[in-house]
Amino acid sequence: MIKYLRDYLLLKKLLQRAEIVNEKMREQIANVALQYQLPICKGVVVEGLSSAFVFGFFKPVLVLPSQENVDDKIILHELLHVRYKDSLQNVLWSILKCFH
């Protein structure tokens, strides 16, 4: 449990220093969210990532790799994780794994 908490806090600290997405990417995220009636969340860009992910469940953040073009399908996939609260589910599974 301590390892999960430590990793979470380290990632949270890293993401607090991440660069907020530019206006073009913000519009792209909003357009995908509106098109599929999904929640819009804050987006950040992190150097060196190989793929996108969602971090957090109370105030989710869409974390994107620093490459120029991010496909709408990737954004859609990650926003679906936000809609179905998969981050919260991952926390619950992690807690169960610790008890096991």
* Beta-bridge partner residues of 63: 44, 53
Q: How many CB atoms are closer than 10 A to CB 82?
A: 20
> In the prediction, which pLDDT does 67 show?
78
- Output the DSSP codes for the chain: -HHHHHHHHHHHHHHHTSEEPPHHHHHHHHHHHHHTT----EEEEETT-SS-EEE-SSS-EEEEESSS---HHHHHHHHHHHHTTHHHHHHHHHHHHHH-
Which of the residues in the chain have pLDDT under 70? Answer: none
> In the prediction, which pLDDT does 57 show?
87
Q: How many CB atoms are closer than 10 A to CB 61?
A: 20
Radius of gyration for the alpha carbons in the chain, expressed in angstroms and rounded:
14
> In the prediction, which pLDDT does 27 show?
97
> In the prediction, which pLDDT does 60 show?
95
